A and B are shown apart, each in its own frame.
Chain A
Amino acid sequence: MRALGNWAIREWGQLAYPTGLFWASIVGLLKSLTRASLRGKEITKQIYECAVMSLPVIAFSLGIVSLMSVLEFSWHMKVVLKQDALVPGFSLILTIREVAPVVTAMLLASRVGASISAEMGVMKITEQLDQLKLLAVSEVDYLLIPRWIGCIVANVTLTLISIAIAGIVTVFIAARWMGYQPAEFYNSLLLFTTGHDLEGALLKALCFGTLIPFVSASYGLRCAQGSQGVGDAATQAVARSSLLIIISDLLINSIWWMP
């Protein structure tokens, strides 16, 4: 019982720190918007680092995932409904609602999240963070806000791009291997999907894009001394942010698509 209580308190503490950072950054963002002192160059650099550098990996992965999901769905539909006329539309809808946002966010969490926490960890153990404090520069304003904006932009655009890629791959495969007409495919797609689904995917992307930098930064900023500490911080950041992605995904699913 006591162990359970200790565990709960520890986990609560783990969640409280990123939340604190989140509020601090919102306040910082509002302040810097009023003073018009956002670091434009740094933000552009972060968007480049997060979005453009992750594009090839994510495009490749999503292409393969949507291929696989067409294959699996055609198998299921043949067994279940004894008809496979709706397969491509069906599998693409699952990709739009669920697979594209989650897979993109997982890949970003392991690429961007780990590098944010490793970078901040190295800055901490080489005392660069203390120097920032000495210069009266807030680490939230200086480091975190550009990464936050970069991550959100990256996640939203990459989710859209991956949905588009999934659409193209699915149409191609359906036309090539299974003999559907592209028009038929889009008909079945429009029959089942609405703008609501796309908005849901974007909401997911926004939420995951906020989650990744704050969780990773919270581990990086509290990194223990030594090279072991940096490795630990990066590992914890990846593990924790992917777990939180899954949990918040369930929350968004159950709220957004309320039956």
Chain B
Amino acid sequence: MPDLKELMGSIGNWFLFSKRVIGLFFREGISRKVLIQQMYQVGVRSMVTTCVAGIFVGAILAIQINLQLKDFGAQSFLGGLSTSTTIRNLGPVLIAFLLSGRVGAFSSAELGTMAITDQLNAIRCLGLNPLAVIIMPRLVALTISSFLLLVLGLGLTVFGGIIISSIYLNVNPLQFVSHIPQFVSGSSIFIGVLKSFLFGLIIGTISCFVGYKTTGGAEEVGRSVRRTAVVTLVSIIVIDFLVSFVVESVTQLIMS
């Protein structure tokens, strides 16, 4: 099975790469100016996308959950249930999908262009380590700003749900909000935030890794973008499942 061997090889390479870059971050630190500059570049460009994504995801899930609750005549639970489902499970995944297409693909295209036009080699010639100078600030900035954007988007999903349910589903905002505390506990919010952080880390490390390893010509940059997008989406799904599974097992252990 050469495919499987290749897959395992790249997972291992990715892991080593992330370990080395994150180790560099903890050993050498990062200048605050560079970090803020990079975060500004990544964050501000994707702000509109994230806001739109958050509001729309909240609205979509409110409509869907409303459909399901209508069969039970339990529409009054709409606010709590849709907010809880969005924050715990589907919200981070869908917003991270959009963000990975925007942020992850962009930085892997940028790094890939740098790699194929020998800009990384030029830095090596100057006696500097490209991992420390180019990759590490980007990876840290990507991780932090994806995390912040995801949390912002998650917050906005609540507004999306409120807007759609008041203008379209005839559930007034107060009724919507009043059920939220009943379902959304601290642990749900913690799970949402934990997932957001892990997705930010995934987007950052994978896009930097694929971009850094790009070789060849212009076509390879396009292929890198595609590979980043697909791999990020699949890993987001897998990580999401693992977090849900672990949390579920831990709660069952505690309960029993």
Q: Assess whether A43 is interfacial by the CB under 8 Å rule.
A: no
Contact B109 A110 (CB under 8 A): no
Contact B60 A90 (CB under 8 A): no
Q: Assess whether A33 is interfacial by the CB under 8 Å rule.
A: no
Q: With contacts A80-B81, A227-B217 known, is A243 near B53, CB below 8 A?
A: yes
Contact B68 A94 (CB under 8 A): yes
In the assembled complex, the Cα of A253 lies from the Cα of B68 at a distance in Å of 13
In whole Å, how far is A170's beta carbon from the nearest beta carbon of chain B?
A: 14
- Name B's interface SS: helix
Q: Assess whether A93 is interfacial by the CB under 8 Å rule.
A: yes
In the assembled complex, the Cα of A125 lies from the Cα of B117 at a distance in Å of 16
In the assembled complex, the Cα of A246 lies from the Cα of B160 at a distance in Å of 13
One of A99-107, A131-139, A146-154, A160-168 contacting the partner: A99-107
Most A Cβ at <10 Å: residue of B49, B97, B183: B97
Q: With contacts A80-B80, A122-B222, A246-B53 known, is A111 near B89, CB below 8 A?
A: no
Contact B223 A239 (CB under 8 A): no
Contact B241 A98 (CB under 8 A): no
Contact B237 A61 (CB under 8 A): yes
CB closest chain-B residue, reference A192: B71
Q: With contacts A243-B98, A259-B66 known, is A79 near B183, CB below 8 A?
A: yes
Q: Assess whether B106 is interfacial by the CB under 8 Å rule.
A: yes
Contact of B226 among A114, A191, A242, A243 (CB under 8 A): A114
* CB-defined contacts of B49 to chain A, threshold 8 Å: 239, 243
Contact B229 A76 (CB under 8 A): no
- Name A's interface SS: helix
In the assembled complex, the Cα of A220 lies from the Cα of B90 at a distance in Å of 31
Contact A247 B56 (CB under 8 A): yes
In whole Å, how far is B44's beta carbon from the nearest beta carbon of chain A?
A: 14
Q: Assess whether B138 is interfacial by the CB under 8 Å rule.
A: no
CB closest chain-B residue, reference A120: B222
* CB-defined contacts of B66 to chain A, threshold 8 Å: 259
* CB-defined contacts of A230 to chain B, threshold 8 Å: 218-219, 221-222
Contact of A118 among B52, B57, B219, B237 (CB under 8 A): B219
CB closest chain-A residue, reference B106: A235
Contact of A238 among B77, B101, B117, B217 (CB under 8 A): B101
Most B Cβ at <10 Å: residue of A61, A65, A81, A114: A114
One of A13-21, A34-42, A66-74, A179-187 contacting the partner: A66-74
* CB-defined contacts of B131 to chain A, threshold 8 Å: none
Q: Assess whether A49 is interfacial by the CB under 8 Å rule.
A: no
Q: Assess whether A213 is interfacial by the CB under 8 Å rule.
A: no
In the assembled complex, the Cα of A121 lies from the Cα of B217 at a distance in Å of 13
Contact of B110 among A117, A231, A233, A246 (CB under 8 A): A231
CB closest chain-B residue, reference A191: B71
Contact B226 A115 (CB under 8 A): yes
In the assembled complex, the Cα of A257 lies from the Cα of B230 at a distance in Å of 31
- CB under 8 Å from chain B, chain A span 236-259: 238-239, 241-243, 246-247, 249-250, 253-254, 257, 259
Contact of A227 among B70, B89, B116 (CB under 8 A): B116
CB closest chain-B residue, reference A94: B64
Contact of B101 among A71, A226, A242 (CB under 8 A): A242
* CB-defined contacts of B74 to chain A, threshold 8 Å: 81
- CB under 8 Å from chain A, chain B span 42-73: 49, 52-53, 56-57, 59-61, 63-68, 70-72
* Chain B residues within CB distance 8 Å of chain A: 49, 52-53, 56-57, 59-61, 63-68, 70-72, 74, 77, 80-81, 84-85, 88-90, 94, 97-98, 100-102, 105-106, 109-110, 112-113, 116-117, 164, 168-170, 183, 217-219, 221-226, 229-230, 233-234, 237-238, 240-241, 244-245, 248
Known: A68-B244, A246-B60. 12 other contacts (CB 8 A): A72-B85, A76-B183, A80-B81, A107-B230, A110-B101, A230-B222, A231-B110, A231-B222, A231-B225, A238-B225, A249-B56, A250-B59
Which 5 pairs from chain A and chain B are nearest by CB? A118-B222, A231-B109, A110-B229, A227-B218, A239-B102
* Chain A residues within CB distance 8 Å of chain B: 57, 60-61, 64-65, 67-69, 71-72, 75-76, 79-81, 90, 93-94, 97-99, 102-103, 106-107, 109-111, 114-115, 117-119, 121-122, 125, 191-192, 226-228, 230-235, 238-239, 241-243, 246-247, 249-250, 253-254, 257, 259
